[in-house]
Structure 1
Amino acid sequence: MQKFTTKTIVSLSVLVALQIVLTRFCSFSAWNVRIGFGFVALVIAAVVHGPVAAALVGGLGDMIGAIAFPTGSYFPGFTLTQVLMGLSFGLALYRKPLHVSDANAVDPHADGAAASALDAAASSVLNAALPLPVRATFAVLFNQLVLSLLINTLWISILYGSSFTGLLTTRVMQAAVTAPIQIAVVLTLAGILRRRDIQQVLAA
């Protein structure tokens, strides 16, 4: 993620709006299950701007969406989950923008350098160690199995006073259906967004 320029802020604002629309209006929701495409905005933010920006999109999108278009009581635990989802996608998918010079990539104080240690780590160590399909699969499985299946189930059990084990049993099918779809979408989006011409248009 580069400096928060005006272009970056506008881009992230659009992604927050996209996340709200896809989550609130383009998903199937029941009181204990949600299947949708809100993650698409997080993936775009992660690939183009990095983990910090993706975490912001996730957190702000969930908070604003819950206030503007409530489907039940607002619970901050779900916002935390969205922040962690954006962060995990960013750590797995982000790579230094192609137009940033090698000097800036090395010097953390130079103009255009990564704005945080998280972004720098995602741009170098993680991306160099594993190929994209492995990183994308790991990010999706972490989000689905840990954050969605376990953590969100815990939040639902606290919010509604329901049995954690009982909820977990019903929500396993959501993870089984959603994970392969997300992997395919993430790989497609990442492949498109990492093209040089696309990054030159989108990246700040």
Structure 2
Amino acid sequence: MKKKRIDARTITLMSLLIALMVVFTRFISFETQFLRISLTFIPESLMGILFGPFWTGIGSAVADTVGMMLFPKGPYFPGFTLNAFISGAIYGFFYYKKELTWKRVFTATLLVTVLIHLFLTPLWLGLMYGVNLSNIAWWIPRILKNIIFFPIQVVATYYLGNKVPYKQLLNKSLANFK
């Protein structure tokens, strides 16, 4: 059985994407105590395309942990690290070594939106802050954010996954990873 080798270029690329995730989450985002709008899905999707579900999940969890340790915006809660791992794994599952079609991007984004943004995150916030999840006033901004942001995320992911010629540039560095 041939072992997979991870070279310095691969580690560097993954580190760069993790750093981008930290920057997008901690500095280039709109955030309140209960709602965050960020572009973290861009490096996370690219990581999913390049590295697959396991490594993207690990990279996303590392980005969440490093971001929390270096730039905390509240108390650490492991549920959000689990969210990061699951969303990274979903992107990796749907995008790795597969053609990015509208249906595939739509499905992955819908799954992350429903499972992470509309189910797990409210659950963790409810546990952390004692939020009454039956209060409709709490749900309105969250639902509106996801309705508005969903098509933006689908179009941006599809465009970046298909139109940007990064795959040709990275074939050498990822040849040992496959």
With structure 1 as the length reference, what TM-score do the two structures score? Answer: 0.77
What pairs with 1:74-93 in structure 2 (closer than 5 Å)? 74-93=76-95
1: distance between equivalents of 2:47 and 2:170? 12
Alignment-derived partner of residue 175 in structure 1: 146
**Counterpart check, 1:184 vs 2:155:** yes
Gap change, CA 1:170 and 1:195, over 3 Å in 2: closer
SS at 2:50 equivalent: helix
Residue 171 of structure 1 deviates from its aligned partner by 1.2
Q: For 1:32 and 1:18, locate their aligned partners in 2 and report how far apart those are by CA, in whole Å.
A: 22
Equivalenced residue count is: 170
The answer as to 2:164 corresponding to 1:162 is no
Which runs of structure 1 show a deviation greater than 4 angstroms over 4 or more consecutive aligned residues?
A: 193-196
2:52 matched to 1:50?
Answer: yes
Aligned: 1:200 with 2:171: yes
Q: Is the 8 A contact 1:62 1:79 kept in 2?
A: yes
Name the amino acid aligned to 1:144: T
1:199 deviates by 3.7
3-state DSSP of counterpart to 1:35: strand
Match of 2:149, as an amino acid?
T
Partner of 1:37: 39
Query: Partner amino acid for 1:26?
Result: I
Q: Please identify, of 47-56 and 75-84, the stretch whose mean Cα deviation from structure 2 is larger.
A: 47-56
Aligned equivalent of 2:121: 152
Alpha-carbon distance between aligned partners in 1 of 2:23 and 2:166, rounded to the nearest angstrom:
26
Which digits, 9 at most, give the CA deviation of each residue in 1:74-93, with x for residues without a partner?
11101100100000001111
Compute the displacement of 1:164 (Å): 1.7
Question: For residues 131-158 of structure 1, what are the alpha-carbon distances to aligned partners after superposition, in whole Å with 9 as ceiling and x for unaligned?
Answer: 6211110000111111111110110111
Helix, strand or coil for the counterpart of 1:28? Answer: strand
Residue of structure 1 equivalent to 2:10: 8
Q: Is the 8 A contact 1:78 1:155 kept in 2?
A: yes
Correspondence list, 1:67-106, <5 A: 67-95=69-97
Q: Distance in 2 between matches of 1:23 and 1:138?
A: 23
Q: 134, 140, 150: which is aligned to 2:109? A: 140
Q: For residue 76 of structure 1, what is the amino acid of its counterpart?
A: P
Deviation of 1:201 (Å) = 5.3
Q: CA deviation at 1:196?
A: 5.0
RMSD over equivalenced CA pairs, Å: 1.9
Offset at 1:48?
Answer: 1.3
Q: Which residue of 2 aligns with 1:19?
A: 21
Structure 2: gaps (5+ residues): none
